[in-house]
Chain A
Amino acid sequence: MNNPVLNVKAVEKDFGGIRALDDVDLVVHNKEIVALIGPNGAGKTTFFNCITGIYTPTGGDVLIDPTAEGNPRRINGKKPNVVTELGMARTFQNIRLFPSMTALENVMIGTHCRTKSAVWGAISRNKATRREEQAVIDRSYELLKLVGLEKYVNDLATNMPYGKQRRLEIARALATDPFLLLLDEPAAGMNPQETLDLERLIVDIRDQFSISIMLIEHDMKMVMSMSDRIYVLDYGRMIADGTPREIAENPAVIKAYLGESDD
C-alpha cells in the first residue's frame, strides 16, 4: 500500500523556445499533503496544467494509481475531463467558477462525470433521473456545508466574496470524487484568519475523505505547518524536496528565494 498515487517522471514542457519544466520528478503518496513552492514564474501552474491534461507534456511520464495497489497507468496527453474522471480534480489560481450559476449549481457541475442521466432522462424525468438529481443536490449541499458556504447556496458565484469563491472551487473539485485534490494557490488574497481557517479545512478534507492533496502556495507559514512534504521548483527545475524542516534549512532553496546576492 505504499505505492505512490501520483508518480511524475522526468516531465518536460516547452513553450516555443522556452523550457518551462525541465526533468521534473514528483511523487504523492496516499493521504499525503504535498506542497509545491517556488518563485513567481517557476513553472508551478504549468506543472499542474501538464498533469491535469490542460497541456500535454513535451516529454516524460505522468503515472497515476488511484488505489495505490502498484499498477500505475500513464495519463500523458489525456483530455482534462478524462483526467478528472480518473480522479484528479483541481482548482485554478485565477478563480474559474461558472459566474452566472449559483453556488449549488457550481458544485453540482462537479458531479457530472459521476452521474449518467442523458437527454431522454432529462425530458421524461423518470424515476432514476429524479433520484439521481436529488442525490446530486443533496451531496452538493453537503459539500457546500463542509466548506462553510451553506449561506450562499442560491447566490450567483460572481456575487460571492473572493475568499468564499476560493472555497467554492474546492467544493466543486471535491464533488468530482477525486483521489487527489490539486489546489493552485488556495490562500491567495486571503487574510491571516481566513488562511488559518482554510488550512484547517484542507487538513479536514484529507482526513475525512482519505484523499491526497497537493497544493501550490506562496504563504510559507501555511505550507510549513500543514505539508507532509514540500517540493521546490525554480526556473522549471526541481531544486529540492523533503520535509518542511529539511526545506527550511536547504541552502539551494534559500538561495532561490533570496536571490544570489552574497558569496
Chain B
Amino acid sequence: MVQFFLTAGCDSVGHAVRKSLLAAAWFVFLTFPLMVIKVNTIENTVVWRWENMGYVAVSIFLGSFVWRWLLARKELKEDNANEETSAEKLLTKVQSHPVLKYSALAVVALLAGLYPQVFDLYQTNIMISCLVYIVLGLGLNIVVGLAGLLDLGYVAFYAVGAYAYALCNMHWDIGFWYMLPVGGVLGTILGVMLGFPVLRLRGDYLAIVTLGFGEIIRLILENWGDVTMGPSGISNIDRPALFGVKLGITDSTIYMYYIMIGLLVFTIFCVNRLQNSRIGRAWLALREDEIACQAMGIDKVKTKLLAFALGASWAGMAGVVFAAKTTFINPASFTFWESAIILSIVVIGGMGSIRGVIAGAIILILVPEYLRDFAEFRMLLFGAIMVLVMVFRPQGLISAKRKIYKYNDTNTAGAANE
C-alpha cells in the first residue's frame, strides 16, 4: 500500500489523507449525539464518552483511506483491462491440464458425494437450498446472462412448478418423479406466454413488465383460494419416494440432496452445451447488439422466446424440488425478493458464466445462512458484499470466458487472395 502511494506520487497521498480526515471529522460530527453523549435518565446526569469519538474518528479515517486506495488501484488496473484475477488464473490453469482438471473434478465429486454423510441434517438442508438456487441461477443465466433480457419475474416460473406439484400431489397423489418433467414443461409454456407480449421490450421496460408478471402470479396464488388454498398454502406434500418406498425424514433429506446433485449436473451439462452451440451464440449476439444480430440473419423473436422458454423450464423443475423438499408451500415463498436474490446470484457471480453462478449462489445463499448468529447485521453484510462486488468487479466474481474453437486450416478459399 505504501509502495503504491510512493509510485502514485505524494500529491495523491496528500489528497487521500485530506479527504479521509474530512470524512472522519464529518462522521465524528454526525455520530456525536449517539456515540458520545449518553443521558442517564434515572440519575439525570450526562455521561460524556469521549473515547467513542476517538474510535469513530480512527476507524472512519482508516476505512476511508483503504477505500480510496482500493479505488485508485482499480483505476490503475483498468488501463490494462481483461486482466484475470488470481482465482481466475488458477481456474484456467487447472482447466488446461487434463490431469489437474480431472483430479479437481474428482475431488469436487467426492466432496459433493460425501457431504450428507459427513455433515448433519441441518447442514444438508442448507446445502439443498443452495443447490436449488444454483439451478435457478443457471436457468436465469440463460435469460439474463446469455440472451441479455433483464427478467425480474423469474420467481413466477418457480412458483408454478412448486404449485403444480403440490396441487397434483394433493388431489391426485401424483408422485415427484412424474411431476419433475411436467414442472419443466409448465415452466416452458409459461415462459413462452410471458415471452410473447414482451418481445418488443428491452432493458428497463422489460424489467418492469416481468416484475409485474411475477407479482401477478403471486397475487393469483394468494387470492384464488379455491384452487391454491390462498395465503395459508398447501402442506403435507409428499417427499420423493425411492422406487415407491416412502422414506423417513433423514433418509429422504439425503435422498433429496442426491436428487439435487443429479439435477444440477444435468443443468450444468445442458447449459454448457447450449452456450457453446449455434443457439447459444445467437443469444450472445442478441445480447451484444440487437440490430446487428438481426442483420446477420438471426430471428429475434424465435431466439428470445427460446431463451425465455428454456430459462423458465429449469425454474419449473426447481419449483417441484422445492415443494417436495419443504413439504409446505405458500405464496410468501415466491415474492419479488426471491427474484432479486436469483438475479443477484447471476450478476454477482458473473453473467453468462456457469462457474460464476455457482460461486455467486454459494456466497449469497450460504453466507447469510451461516451469519444467522449476527441476526440484524446479516442483511447489512449481504448488502455490503453486493456493493463491494459491484464496485470492484462489475463483470462478476468469475467472468465468462469465450470458448476457443479448433479450426482446420485448409487452403481453399483464401488461395485466390494470396
Q: Identify the A interface with B (CB < 8 A).
A: 52, 54, 79-81, 84-85, 89-90, 92, 96-102, 104-105, 108-110, 112-115, 117-119, 121-123, 125, 129, 132-134, 136-143, 145-146, 148, 153-154, 156, 159, 172-173, 176, 201, 204, 207-208
Cβ-defined contact, A102 with B292, below 8 A: no
Chain B residue numbers with a CB within 8 Å of A173 are: 296
Chain B residue numbers with a CB within 8 Å of A108 are: 281, 405
Cβ-defined contact, A98 with B279, below 8 A: no
Cβ-defined contact, A121 with B407, below 8 A: no
Beyond A105-B402, A112-B282, A137-B407, whether A80 also contacts B294 by CB under 8 A is yes
Cβ-defined contact, A98 with B416, below 8 A: no
Looking at the complex, which one of B277, B404, B407 makes contact with A117 (CB distance below 8 Å)?
B277
Chain A residue numbers with a CB within 8 Å of B82 are: 156, 159
Chain A residue numbers with a CB within 8 Å of B120 are: none
Chain B residue numbers with a CB within 8 Å of A207 are: 416
Cβ-defined contact, A141 with B295, below 8 A: no
Bound: A19/B322 CA distance, A: 59
Bound: A73/B293 CA distance, A: 24
Beyond A54-B295, A81-B298, A122-B273, whether A146 also contacts B278 by CB under 8 A is no
Cβ-defined contact, A98 with B292, below 8 A: yes
Q: How far is the CB of B343 from chain A (nearest CB, A)?
A: 20
Q: How far is the CB of B291 from chain A (nearest CB, A)?
A: 6
Bound: A84/B146 CA distance, A: 23
Bound: A80/B294 CA distance, A: 6
Cβ-defined contact, B410 with A138, below 8 A: yes
Cβ-defined contact, B298 with A122, below 8 A: no
Cβ-defined contact, B282 with A123, below 8 A: no
Chain A residue numbers with a CB within 8 Å of B295 are: 52, 54, 80-81, 84, 89-90, 92, 96
Q: How far is the CB of A126 from chain B (nearest CB, A)?
A: 11
B274 adjacent to chain A (CB < 8 Å): yes
Bound: A60/B204 CA distance, A: 36
B413 adjacent to chain A (CB < 8 Å): yes
Q: How far is the CB of A79 from chain B (nearest CB, A)?
A: 7
Q: How far is the CB of A170 from chain B (nearest CB, A)?
A: 13
For chain B, residues 245 to 296, give those with C-beta under 8 angstroms from any C-beta of chain A.
269-270, 273-274, 277-282, 284-285, 288-289, 291-296
B310 adjacent to chain A (CB < 8 Å): yes
Cβ-defined contact, B408 with A118, below 8 A: no
Cβ-defined contact, A104 with B279, below 8 A: no
Cβ-defined contact, A81 with B299, below 8 A: yes
Contact with A along B310-347 (1 / 0, CB 8 A): 10000000000000000000000000000000000000
Beyond A84-B296, A137-B405, A176-B297, whether A122 also contacts B288 by CB under 8 A is no
Least CB separation from B309: chain A residue = A119
Cβ-defined contact, A96 with B291, below 8 A: yes
B417 adjacent to chain A (CB < 8 Å): yes
B171 adjacent to chain A (CB < 8 Å): no
B244 adjacent to chain A (CB < 8 Å): no
Bound: A112/B289 CA distance, A: 15
Least CB separation from A201: chain B residue = B417
Cβ-defined contact, A109 with B293, below 8 A: yes
Interface size class of B (residues with CB under 8 A): 35 or more
**Top 7 A-B pairs ranked by shortest CB distance?**
A113-B297, A122-B277, A84-B297, A98-B288, A96-B292, A142-B413, A141-B407
Q: How far is the CB of B289 from chain A (nearest CB, A)?
A: 5
Cβ-defined contact, B413 with A122, below 8 A: no
Q: How far is the CB of B80 from chain A (nearest CB, A)?
A: 12
Chain B residue numbers with a CB within 8 Å of A204 are: 416-417
Chain A binding surface, main DSSP class: helix
Cβ-defined contact, B298 with A138, below 8 A: no
Beyond A112-B278, A119-B306, A122-B279, whether A101 also contacts B294 by CB under 8 A is no
Cβ-defined contact, B300 with A81, below 8 A: yes
Beyond A96-B291, A133-B278, A204-B417, whether A104 also contacts B407 by CB under 8 A is yes
Cβ-defined contact, A81 with B410, below 8 A: no
Chain A residue numbers with a CB within 8 Å of B296 are: 81, 84, 89, 109-110, 112-113, 172-173, 176
Bound: A105/B404 CA distance, A: 9
Beyond A105-B281, A112-B281, A118-B279, whether A137 also contacts B406 by CB under 8 A is yes
B412 adjacent to chain A (CB < 8 Å): yes
Contact with A along B387-411 (1 / 0, CB 8 A): 0000000000000001011111110
Least CB separation from B406: chain A residue = A137
Beyond A112-B281, A122-B279, whether A85 also contacts B291 by CB under 8 A is no
B9 adjacent to chain A (CB < 8 Å): no
Beyond A98-B284, A101-B284, A112-B281, whether A119 also contacts B310 by CB under 8 A is yes
B197 adjacent to chain A (CB < 8 Å): no
For chain B, residues 28 to 47, give those with C-beta under 8 angstroms from any C-beta of chain A.
none
Q: How far is the CB of B148 from chain A (nearest CB, A)?
A: 11
Beyond A122-B280, A172-B296, whether A98 also contacts B407 by CB under 8 A is no
* 10 A-B pairs whose Cβ atoms sit less than 8 Å apart in the complex: A52-B295, A89-B297, A104-B405, A110-B296, A136-B278, A138-B410, A141-B407, A145-B417, A153-B407, A159-B82
Cβ-defined contact, B407 with A138, below 8 A: yes
Cβ-defined contact, B298 with A113, below 8 A: yes
Chain A residue numbers with a CB within 8 Å of B288 are: 98-101
Cβ-defined contact, B294 with A121, below 8 A: no
Bound: A172/B295 CA distance, A: 11
Chain A residue numbers with a CB within 8 Å of B98 are: none
B203 adjacent to chain A (CB < 8 Å): no
Known interface pairs A113-B298, A119-B279, A201-B417; 9 further A-B residue pairs with C-beta atoms within 8 A, sorted by A's residue number: A98-B293, A99-B288, A101-B402, A102-B402, A109-B282, A109-B285, A122-B278, A123-B274, A137-B407
Beyond A110-B296, A176-B296, whether A119 also contacts B274 by CB under 8 A is yes
